[in-house]
Amino acid sequence: MPRPIRKAVFPVAGLGTRFLPATKAIPKEMLTIVDRPVIQYVVDEARAAGIEHFVFVTGRNKSVIEDHFDNQIELEMALAERGKDDALSALRSELPPAGATSYTRQQAPLGLGHAVWCAREIVGDEPFALLLPDMVGQAETGCLSQMMAAYEKHGGNVIAVEETTAEQVHRYGIVGVGEKDETGFEITEMVEKPDRDNAPSNFYISGRYILQPEIFGILEHQASGADGEIQITDAMIGLAQSQRFTGVRFDGRTFDCGSKAGFLAANVAFALARPDIAPDFRAELDKIIGAVAATRNKAAE
């Protein structure tokens, strides 16, 4: 039996420059999808998969994330005094248990691989999950939970993948597809941002990983790669020389909330999935779409 996955790493040190000026004082991970921060969705996914300890790799001006995952006594007292028991219960249910969160700093923006390496002392010598907060999944069963079946069968390392078009493979880390079973497939190779003629498949790495602790030793000596940063994919290619990697195709939809279009699409999708607001929101969308169509038709006349 493979060792259990108890800890998850969340790299949250990025500057969020694509969302300026909104992220000048607010971390991009605290921007809301409907009424909950992006980071809350990702932490909830990890909790649902059985994660017990949450490791945040932070940077400057990220202390609000730490505050979010803590009790706010004044707010809780105000809710209790006003009889808003449902809101109070919801706030408390989303908090990790006492002592279940850790925070470490990435002092310089040296890449995702470097951010993961910064968590080495907290993770220690045990396998762990890595969840990129920008990537928010929508599914009945969370992406990390889906990956656990492959990990329990094969051990080693597991990567979530999704399909893209041949024209888009140059934007992603792409994997080669080997022997398949009911949990996924053996990854035969990994290529960072290949051109379409050299891509081994159209399956791209989508921001969820289960990794063995040997990755830290590779990252410690990993040279800078694309964009002058230490890339996690380069380290995984090194680890794949001695350990199995399994690919799991995520049964759901992932929204890249690091892009404006993906973030807006996530708000629409999650709002429409909420019974409490979907009817009113759908009516407003219909009005907006109708008004835009009318404007275009008028301009075309």
More confident of the two residues 60 and 119:
119
pTM recorded for the entire structure: 0.91
Distance of alpha carbon 181 from alpha carbon 249, whole angstroms: 12
Domains of the chain: 7-258 (3.90.550.10)
Long-range contacts of 114-121 (CB under 8 A, 24+ apart): 114/219, 114/229, 114/230, 115/11, 115/13, 115/57, 116/9, 116/11, 116/57, 116/211, 116/215, 116/216, 116/219, 116/232, 117/216, 117/219, 117/220, 117/230, 118/57, 119/9, 119/55, 119/57, 120/216, 120/219
pLDDT in tens, 221-264: 887 766 677 889 889 999 999 999 999 999 999 999 999 999 99
pLDDT in tens, 44-81: 999 999 999 999 999 888 889 999 988 888 888 898 88
Asked if the model's pLDDT at residue 16 lies above 90, the reply is no
